[in-house]
Amino acid sequence: MPDPMKIRANLVGDSTEVKVLMSHEMDTGLAKDSSGKVIPAWFIQKVTVLHNDQQVLYAQWGTAVSKNPFMSFKFKGGAKGDKVTITWVDNHNETRTDSAVVG
Amino acid sequence: MPRKLRSIPGAAAALALAVITVTLPIVSVPAAAQESVEKAIEQYRQDLQGGNPAELWEARGEEIWNTPRGPKHASFKSCDLGLGPGIVKGAYAQLPRYFPDAGRVLDLESRLVWCMVNQQGLTHAEATKVTFGKGSRKRSDLEALTAYVVAQSDGTKMNVSLADPHVRDMYEIGEKMFFYRAGTHDFACATCHGSDGKRIRLQDLPNLTKKADAQRAYTSWPAYRVSQGEVRTFQWRLHDCLRQQRFPDLIYGSDASIALTTYLAARANGAAYAGPGMKR
């Protein structure tokens, strides 16, 4: 089971600012371990963000994204108490979903 | 001139060009470029505000702290970091300190190991199996616990008391070590950290003999090391400094490591702790 994300969602003016930290190795498939064997690619491929039940962001990621990724974005609307739900799926089909309340 | 160039075979021309492009940066790197790199790094740090991945370690550390572990099935709630069993808030700002139950001066990491051994019943080897983690396949509980504990001192003024003679001794030994030159390169900590304007590659090195630098340096460790994707503790910082000096391996939680930590921590007294930090 992957580690939980750390999500912050705050109202800034008329939009909601979301900051999220994800725990993931994000191996590119290009690096080798100490014995010289290639470490296979293992990375987050899809990120979906829901505001309550409505999708506000969908992203396709590749190996250029860093280890333990940090993503920050804003969307219009949102009110205190609304729910922001984030889901990622990696190329091993592992997935993690966490949510936060807009503050 | 162009005619002459044309007469040079392609490979040689390419080589000549390569030499030019290689030598140029070396000649022209001076102050301005150096400054813009520093600015860029500073900008990068600001952009990542609220995005320090050390928070992922803090969350894991908190869970470990509250979970009963080891043969004695004890959690860290019975672990006394100096302010009473289980009290974490502000504890890091007063470490290292003398612990009568251990009969030694201990820093945070060695105190965590002490609690694992004496309260949870782990062997010393089990407790220190992974001191410095490497990815999700080899994670260090000590790094996670450290991140959690130090975060509870964020904003607290550093206040390492030297009133206890044991701590005073450690401080003085640490100071001696800091200036002691040895090893194949005849290095001391002070060789790199004893004057202004020194750097390793692009990293500016703090002049730890100056109060302000010493405070800024100590209060920004432990930190998330972006290039390694790991939270690194102060034990790691010292271990790697000594490695770079070609000294023998610094043993995790050894008196030598605690003496140096005591010296550097006490030199930071008065400054607000601001960690876990984030490093290149």
* 3-state SS, one letter per residue, for B192-220: HHCCCCCEECCEECCCCCCHHHHHHHHHC
Average pLDDT, chain B: 86
The mean pLDDT of B58-76, rounded to a whole number, is: 93
Alpha-carbon distance of B20 to B35, in angstroms, equals: 24
Q: Point out the least confidently predicted range of A93-102, B129-138, B153-162.
A: B129-138
CB B57 within 8 A of CB B140: no
Q: How far is B243 from chain A (nearest CA, A)?
A: 19
Alpha-carbon distance of A30 to B53, in angstroms, equals: 23
Span B47-279: which CATH code? 1.10.760.10
- Give the distance from CA B206 to its chain's centroid: 13
Taken in order B74, B76, B77, B80, the sign of the CA dihedral is positive
Q: What are the chain A neighbours of B50 within 8 Å (beta carbons)?
A: 8, 19, 72
Helices (H) and strands (E) in chain B, counts: 12, 7
Average pLDDT, chain A: 93
The mean pLDDT of A11-20, rounded to a whole number, is: 91
A45, burial (CB in 10 Å: exposed 0-12, middle 13-18, buried 19+): middle
Alpha-carbon distance of B146 to B88, in angstroms, equals: 11
Q: Is the pLDDT of residue A29 over 70?
A: yes
Which tokens sit at B173? 């030994």
Which tokens sit at B219? 């209060």
Domain ranges of chain A: 6-27+38-101
Residue B197's pLDDT is what? Answer: 87
SS3 call for B223: strand
Alpha-carbon distance of B187 to B200, in angstroms, equals: 14
Q: Is the pLDDT of residue A20 over 90?
A: yes
- In which band, very low, low, confident or very high, does the pLDDT at B39 lie, cut at 50, 70 and 90? confident
Which tokens sit at B144? 């996670």
Element (H, E) at B60: helix B54-66
Determine whether the interchain pair B56/A19 forms a contact, defined as Cβ–Cβ distance below 8 Å.
no
Domain ranges of chain B: 47-279
Alpha-carbon distance of B205 to B215, in angstroms, equals: 13
Q: Which of B80, B134, B89, B142 is nearest to B113 (CA)?
A: B142
Determine whether the interchain pair B53/A70 forms a contact, defined as Cβ–Cβ distance below 8 Å.
yes
Q: What are the chain A neighbours of B63 within 8 Å (beta carbons)?
A: none
The whole-model pTM stands at: 0.82
Alpha-carbon distance of B27 to B40, in angstroms, equals: 21
Residue B31's pLDDT is what? Answer: 60
Which tokens sit at B105? 């001066």
Residue B36's pLDDT is what? Answer: 76
The mean pLDDT of B183-202, rounded to a whole number, is: 90
Say what the alpha-carbon torsion angle B5, B8, B11, B15 is, to the nearest 10 degrees: -50
Residue with tokens 């050390």: B54
Taken in order A41, B54, B231, A66, the sign of the CA dihedral is positive
Residue B85's pLDDT is what? Answer: 94
ipTM above 0.95, yes or no: no
The mean pLDDT of B149-155, rounded to a whole number, is: 94
Determine whether the interchain pair A68/B50 forms a contact, defined as Cβ–Cβ distance below 8 Å.
no
Q: Is the pLDDT of residue A62 over 80?
A: yes
Which tokens sit at B176? 């001696």
Alpha-carbon distance of B100 to B122, in angstroms, equals: 21
Residue A69's pLDDT is what? Answer: 93
- In which band, very low, low, confident or very high, does the pLDDT at B278 lie, cut at 50, 70 and 90? confident
Q: What residues contact A22, with CB distance under 8 A and at least 6 apart?
A: A5, A44, A68, A69, A70, A71, A88, A96
Which tokens sit at B243? 């490695």
Determine whether the interchain pair A8/B59 forms a contact, defined as Cβ–Cβ distance below 8 Å.
no
Q: What are phi and psi for residue B151, nearest 5 degrees?
A: -60, -25
Q: Is the pLDDT of residue B82 over 90?
A: yes
Alpha-carbon distance of A7 to B135, in angstroms, equals: 22
Which tokens sit at A75? 């969307």
Q: Residue A75 corresponds to which amino acid?
A: F
Q: What are the chain A neighbours of B226 within 8 Å (beta carbons)?
A: 66
Residue among B50, B60, B229 minimizing CB distance to A67: B229
- In which band, very low, low, confident or very high, does the pLDDT at B32 lie, cut at 50, 70 and 90? low
Q: Among all residues of B, which ones are annotated catalytic?
A: 241
Span A6-27+38-101: which CATH code? 2.60.40.10
Q: How does B16-51 read in b/e, with b if 16+ C-beta sit within 10 Å?
A: eeeeeeeeeeeeeeeeeeeeeeeeeeeeeeeebeeb
